[in-house]
Amino acid sequence: MSVHRSLWLQEVDGDAPKAPPLSGRGRADVAIIGGGYVGLWTAIRIKQAQPACDVVILERDICGGGASGRNGGFVLSWWPKLASLARLVGPADAVRIARQSEAAIDEIRAFCVAHDIDADFRRGGWLWTATSAAQVGAWEGLLDACARAGVEPFRRIDRADVARMAGSPAHLAGVYDATAAVVQPAALVRGLRRHALQLGVRIHEGTTVHGFGRDRPIVVRAQRATLVADTLVIATNAWAAGIRELARSIAVISSDMIATPPIPERLAALGWHPDLCITDSQTMVDYYRVTRDGRVAFGKGGWTIAFGGRIGPAFDRSARRARDVEADFRRCYPSLVDVPVTHSWSGPIDRTPSSLPLIGHLAGRPHIVYGIGWSGNGVGPSLVGGRILASMALGTSDEWGRHPLIGRSAGRFPPEPIKFVGAHLVRAAVVTKERAEMRDERPPAWSVRLARLAPAGLEDK
Ligand SMILES: Cc1cc2nc3c(=O)[nH]c(=O)nc-3n(C[C@H](O)[C@H](O)[C@H](O)COP(=O)(O)OP(=O)(O)OC[C@H]3O[C@@H](n4cnc5c(N)ncnc54)[C@H](O)[C@@H]3O)c2cc1C
């Protein structure tokens, strides 16, 4: 498979020799489809709990070839989703789950230290900002929800400090969450892969699963090979849209990133805090950070929508969308106008209506579990997901096996082609609205009304 790789995968051993594809007829206690963070954390937790359990990961590309090796590397908690969580599981469990997601950030750091994974973990916090007057105060509803819950994960930052921390006066206001961190995302996923192998997990890369039975034992079909397993874990992120029972649970949209050459002195002169995660408050969110060697890595969510969950090469890279992302970068950092863009890449996002993941048993079958729908915030939360999926796969009735997120759904999207057409209309409205707001103009009323139908984003606004 020849695909365009992210800057992050190019920096690590992303194209190192693959684990061999599945061949013939194999057997496993637990089969996991998908070798991203979710599949790997699940495999690792299963092995830690039951070392004798035979766990096999089937991955169509290389581990980390999906979103886990392409993302922005923001390690965020679920505090910004507190209100959505409360609607799903009630206020007390919402706080408990948000705390678990905050603890996951510490666990990732500890895991990297314990297993000698150089994932460039740096805890500089998350700055949630406004880069247009219309965005100012996007966080007020969430701050109210936090106050009602008696928690205070966000701190208000005054305008001068926001601009100073972000290194540009385009930032007008913001709030700060000190718990967040950045990582080199591909280094993290490749480190997880290495550790999974050390624990005895069997990995087959270059192995696309074409289908699986629903009865036990489960027959998983790949090219000219089958794997028979007692339990199946589906950890295929946006690709899960191709599974009949899950197709309407997620909408697949792209997220697109660009990167500059290393310019550490220029960024230091701007005062940009190099360990920060920064997002603005658009629905089609801008997210940006500094890499270890002083590049700007800048991304934007939402430009492309997949029909029927078909994820083609446009989800690996698009020159046109890279130009759109670059335009947002130039607007945020006008003083870096002369700095070229050296890398661009894309990846698929598995957006759910609430932007919270879906974890459950496929069509109620206890031996088939899934964890999808991370909605652009999966680097940190996938660790929580891995714990839950491992307990579900092993049938363990601990706090993870009885987790309140299991079996919860915040609604479904309409069937195709209505989903595809509707998503395009809503996206057109969001683009019209947000472009007008960036020019400090009043957006057309139709765009404001239609844009309200967009699924919630990274944050509850
Ligand atoms: C450009 C971009 C930027 C992002 N930025 C951030 C960020 O800064 N912070 C954050 O928290 N999240 C971010 N995300 C989201 C985050 O990357 C994901 O939520 C996370 O990686 C999900 O992990 P996963 O294991 O579910 O998915 P993946 O890493 O995509 O793993 C799924 C795997 O399943 C494999 N697969 C699919 N179908 C099959 C099949 N039929 N057979 C075999 N294998 C199959 C795929 O090849 C893939 O490797 C971003 C995503 C993108 C695309």
- Is 139 inside any structural domain? yes
- Under the banding of pLDDT at 50, 70 and 90, the label for residue 303 is confident
Question: 28 and 78 share a domain?
Answer: yes
Which domain covers residue 430, as residue numbers? 418-451
The answer to whether residue 417 scores a pLDDT higher than 90 is no
400 occurs within a structural domain: no
Q: Ligand 1: distance of its center to the CA of 36 in Å? A: 6
What's the pLDDT score for residue 2? 62
Could you tell me if the CB of 61 is within 6 A of ligand 1?
yes
Band of pLDDT at residue 201, cut at 50, 70 and 90? very high
Tell whether ligand 1 has an atom less than 6 A from the beta carbon of residue 318: no
The pLDDT-based confidence of 402 (bands split at 50, 70, 90) is very high
* Same-domain pairing of 383 and 427: no
Q: Whose CA is nearest to atom 11 of ligand 1?
A: 377
User: Is there an atom of ligand 1 within 6 Å of 174 CB?
Assistant: no
pLDDT of residue 21: 97
pLDDT (average), residues 352-376? 96
Q: pLDDT by residue (tens digit) across 128-169?
A: 999 999 999 999 999 999 999 999 999 999 999 999 999 999
The percentage of the chain sitting over the pLDDT mark of 90, rounded to a whole number, equals: 89
Q: Is residue 414 pLDDT above 70, yes or no?
A: yes
User: Model-level pTM greater than 0.85?
Assistant: yes
**Span 246-300, pLDDT tens digits:** 999 999 999 999 999 999 999 999 999 999 999 999 999 999 999 999 999 999 9
Spatial separation of the C-alpha atoms in residues 354 and 358, rounded to whole Å = 10
End-to-end CA distance of the chain: 40
Q: Note whether 390 and 400 are within 8 A (CB).
A: yes
Quick one: tokens of 61? 């590309």
Whether residue 190 sits in one domain with residue 272: yes
> What is the pLDDT, as a whole number, of residue 456?
75
305 and 371 both lie in a single domain: yes
Residue 37 pLDDT level (bands cut at 50, 70, 90): very high
Q: Are residues 84 and 13 in the same domain?
A: yes
Q: Are residues 371 and 428 in the same domain?
A: no
Assess whether 355 and 445 both reside in one domain.
no
- Residues whose CB falls within 8 Å of the CB of residue 169, separated by 6 or more in sequence, listed in order: 163
Task: Place 419 in a pLDDT band, splitting at 50, 70 and 90.
Answer: confident
Residue 156 lies in a domain: yes
Which pLDDT score is estimated for 423? 87
* Sequence-ordered strand ranges (E) for 112-200: 126-130, 154-157, 173-177, 181-182
Split into its structural domains, the chain has a count of: 2
Question: Do residues 138 and 277 both lie within one domain?
Answer: yes
Kindly state whether residue 276 falls inside one of the protein's structural domains.
Answer: yes
Query: Is the distance from the beta carbon of residue 316 to the nearest atom of ligand 1 less than 6 Å?
Result: no
Window from 7-11, 382-386, 414-418 with minimum mean pLDDT: 414-418
Residue 411 is predicted with a pLDDT of: 86
User: Would you say residue 407 has pLDDT above 80?
Assistant: yes
Residues of the chain with pLDDT > 70, as a percent, come to 99
Instruction: Compute the average pLDDT of residues 73-83.
Output: 97
Average pLDDT across the chain, whole number: 95
Is there a domain that residue 271 lies in? yes
**Residue 460 located in a structural domain:** no
String of b and e for 189-215 (b: at least 16 CB within 10 Å)? bbbbbebbeeeebbbbbbbbbeebeee
Q: In angstroms, what is the span from residue 74 Cα to ligand 1's centroid?
A: 13
Instruction: For residue 381, give the ligand 1 atom closest to its CA.
Output: 11
pLDDT at residue 14 is higher than 70? no
| Confidence band for 1, pLDDT divided at 50, 70 and 90 | low
Q: Which of 185, 178, 199 is nearest to 376 (CA)?
A: 185
Q: What is the pLDDT of residue 308?
A: 83
